[in-house]
Structure 1
Amino acid sequence: MVTLRQPRDVAQILLSVLFLAVMIVACLWIVQPFILGFAWAGTVVVATWPLLLRLQKILFGRRGLAVLVMTLLLFLLFIIPIALLVNSLVDSSGPVIRSITSGEMTVPDLAWLHSIPLVGERLYGAWHSLLEMGGSAIMAKMRPYIGATTTWFVGQAAHIGRFMMHCALMLVFSALLYWRGEHVALGIRHFATRLAGERGDAAVLLAAQAVRAVALGVVVTALVQAILGGIGLAISGVPYATIFTVVMVLTCLVQLGPLLVLVPCIIWLYWSGDTTWGTVLLVWSCVVGTMDNVIRPVLIRMGADLPLILILSGVIGGLIAFGMIGLFIGPVLLAVTWRLFAAWVHEIPSPATDPDVLLHELEELEEKNQQ
């Protein structure tokens, strides 16, 4: 007996897929204002979940008290410093932006070059020879680009209202995730298992490890080094210490370290004759510049070492795509993708055959086929 196969209803399948796509896009459109805040909260909660469990044990096993303490800690140690940093950056950069965009900024005379032994007069003469050859004209041509670039960078930090909204959402979502963290994690693992079986569940666990590795080993280390370096700059009397602190956050995130900012400030203090505070900042910089070698191994316990280019791309790309909040989300997204890709590649053993032997075998096979 021949069983006739029922033809597929192509129109029904297309309309079903179209309906599901429209529903997904509509849902994403609705929750779009909350995605960044939720992603930030998820990163923070995953990174600090062991601390929550320890607090819960200390507080007689009460989850509510532990959630309250963690939320207050996030507000005091994370939100307030970043908000003050952004406000101070905008306030300090205002005169610089006005000076650049209004055309009041001129090429400096650099009269202090005279005080350099042996080569000071030559450097001063060479500098003014450059100015006479068109240095002012070059400055006039570069001023619009400098102003536009500086305005763009400061504009990323100037969206205080949007940034504070994400901070508030991060706090709210963090409290909710702390409260129902086990259920949320189980739901995500269940969904991943439904999509890809055991591989999906393993992918979620690897993603959590990558998030914790970046959040603790990269972001926290960078913030600690930058904040301590900024404290040293402020105590030593270096002007625009807040702006230098922001720059140190960036240099630490891309694994260049805080010394890239601290060393010029030390040189400036010695050059201006303030040798006492210059020495203090020198000693403090030695401590701050090397503390990442102690902090990072303690924080990254799962050994998720990440390539430098990955962190650099995540920081710069996250800043361009999402603004200031992208400094934290960008490296995390790339790290998660990298860990999942690496796990997928290493599911099979690497090729052990010598390339020359393999090529020779291929040549022999081609000769046999031609015969």
Structure 2
Amino acid sequence: MALSRRAFLTLLAGTGLLAPAVHAAPSPPRGTFALAGTVYPGRGAPLPGHAVLVRRGRIEGVVPARDVADRPVIAPEGGSILPGVINAHCHNLHTARERRERWLDHGVTAIGDAASPLKFLSALLDSPSGRTATASACGPMLCPPGGYPLPVHSPEHALAVASPKEGADAVRRLADRGAARIKIAFEPGILPRPWPRFDTATARSICDTARRLGLAVRCHVEDLSGLEPALDAGADFVEHVPYRWHDHGAIRPVLGPDGAPVPHYRQLLERMVRNGVVMTPTLDVFTRTPWNGPALFAPVRTFHALGGKVALGNDFPYRRTDAGMPVREMRLLARAGLDRAAVLEAATATAAEVCGFRDRGRIAPGMAADLLMVRGAPSPDALQDPVHIVKDGVFIR
């Protein structure tokens, strides 16, 4: 019996013979096809037996797989389709080639560079469609003179500002260069003499100017003493999890005898939830240090239980963290109380929010066709070896 074109292509897809032909296509994303299986949209319940419709690099819709009759359908047995993973907090690997080899080829379709020298901003923003991991960039971190990151990183990683006007001017300068986010810090360091931190007026000027320009502010906070001033200034995202507390020269515990965050910390976490402030804990980098312990996990567990949004980022390349699929961060988020659905949302929809990607991180009509297909449920193990990687509608694998 003769097979129809659709049936023939579906048979090839099921045997894995179709993927190499698509993988070899060097042309820009122009294909029309569907990926069928269980669809995990990034937010919301999975949709078994559905297909993601792709045309010219964009998602047309999500429909029951049985209704697709106008295009090739790729449907390996037991396949799951999810948005491309986004590493919301990393550094380095600025060029398109580096992002292709170390991120995209492993299924990380976009990244958030959380502070790099100004000279690399143009390279980060060079994201040829369908050929590299899309990058969101902050440029150098804004800081007071002598403040973090200057004590530990090269001067190129910072722009020092000493007044509200200088802060506002620096934000406008970065916005003009294409920065998608602004990065600041409230970090006293771990030395007997604390590092300088922003005064209230300058920090608010930075956040207010960013907001007027349609940007948002990511704030480095490792010490609990920096969390309240960061929220007072209007930071939208908290980078890292505060795991220590230097309070006016005294070291205080961040956890109480019951192992939960102390009342002051819990109140600040509740405030973050009320204000929609997202946390990117970067547990991977901290668990490779002497600070590894309950103070990393209990605050994330409490924040998540309160309804807070958590994003995935592993702070590559610091402390020997890895490029590629950030499975260790996924497993650590699970250890901090996030179930599989919450980890997937942290790695897709919420990570996109942190980076400022409006058309990535979810499977919905009009979104960029950044997609992964895995066998079985999208667990960290399955994500280490995706069946297919699709970037802007182009098959990478």
Q: Same fold (TM over 0.5)?
A: no
**Structure label with greater radius of gyration:** 1
The answer to which structure, 1 or 2, has the higher relative contact order (CA under 8 A, 6+ apart) is 2
Q: TM-score, normalised by structure 1?
A: 0.24
Name the structure where strand makes up a greater proportion of residues: 2
Query: More helix by proportion, 1 or 2?
Result: 1
